[in-house]
Structure 1
């Protein structure tokens, strides 16, 4: 008996042959575009909510994360004022500005922040979550690898010792020379595996809005989840497959928002091109080595991180904030990942230049 041809079709566009299955609702689909389409929005829009909850879940307060949270909350306050410009400017003490009410609050504790919001502010926040517009509250972040720096034709004695991009990028770490790590010639496939790791870095950096420090374990888990080379030692044979693997892993990852950009694969490919091009022709390896160094630092931080339980009004309002925790890798897994990243960083010193764009 012949198979029903309808059974092989994408159930969202009813045109192409399905290649994937949604990990949430089990619907067969053929592409990222179909997954993110309006026909699938009831399933995928939940990621908006999870995205902001993960952002608010930050542990271990520091001045940088406080500033970012304050920027986000300030935008929230401004949105309210713009939408209700007839509100009396002379509020009562209980209705003082959001910034004043949060002055002594630990901005890395979502329950403390939630307790300081007025009832109408909480309702507004919930409405934004429901509509998906909450992403506009997150401060805009410009990836450092998108910036290009002019190489001066003439240099003077009083010029800065280090270029400006050195200050704006993660610090490049020192690792053993490649000849010390191995006496064997590396396989040409190392480059494609390297690209798979770089792509996972770019995806995670955009997902976390550039902040790896606030949630080191979650960030490390995300990098490993979307890089099959890091998680499963998968070997890639070409550039496109190495990048597309990360795009597909993002779709299958339960805690990453998929609604950020319908052209995710194109954006990721452009990120890789920018990282490999470096800040300028004078130092084309800098961005790639900075990205790997950032991942090494992240994995080291994740090994030291101790997760604290979250309890309070915000957790009661969003129970999945507690129950849908990101699976944490073990210290042994993180250690193995560190060794592989150090290998790639050492390899890049010797072999990456021949692959960089001319």
Structure 2
């Protein structure tokens, strides 16, 4: 049985703050500072360039990848880390398109994160093969999969509403039509039970600074199904994706398996912090985590709907049809959230009118959820949000 009191103790949580924004940026793991100091002083500081060999830095992307693999149902050796989510999606989409050269359509949905669609637009235009991006409503994805589609590219959990796609069913539909499936797990990894193997996903990508608590700008990950790993040709043929990077050969030879999806020099300091953050997952059962997140989100939903009638639920009511978040709509969402933050309840806003709250059992308690709902009700009942300072927009929402 997972002990969430024990996992909570692993995080630095500022006193007086109720943190409902782990779906944007996870809190600081207490072990991260110690690990960073160790890498800075004992490894980089004392060993200098020798640390690449002495401290086994070069294999860190794969070792961290294997730890993430366990959380997403991927086999060992099928996940590597580094770069950003946008880069990893670019790699996955290019590789998938090359495996379906006679098809011209990439299918996505309006719930996908805009950055994913930007990356797809840019890549398809650069390839110049008459490729097109087709974007439909989330509910229309299954019916839009036909024999013109090369790749179905979806984010499993909608970043605005939390709506949850059925990865297994949609991947099956894609394969039945001869297409491949890429899944963005940015709001899934560490939030819900994911099994890319059972779903038969071709590629999966994700970031690690949300539910995995790897820190701002933490390295992304990419999973390539083993059946593709020695076949795909990386569009970004970086030197660390080479089979023998220190042979310094003129010609590029891709490394075996998912290692060919590495690009440049691994960000050792960031990977070390991420590795430390992943220690929190050592004794976590993902089914227990999912059950706990549902309990927390359902308690919050019930409290908000009972005491905040001016808010409209913008997430699926069925907790099994959403990820580990809840969204509510209000025309003054931005100002309301600023008033909440000023009172120690931290969530975030997504344009144009969404108040968004994440539920992370690793460190969030039911008492905190109830207090947060009470404070939200007070802010709304007293119009405390309607102050000039709360309407003033900051660069990050």
TM-score (norm 2): 0.23
Going by fraction, where is strand more abundant, 1 or 2?
2
Going by fraction, where is helix more abundant, 1 or 2?
1
TM-score (norm 1): 0.25
Structure number with greater Rg is 1
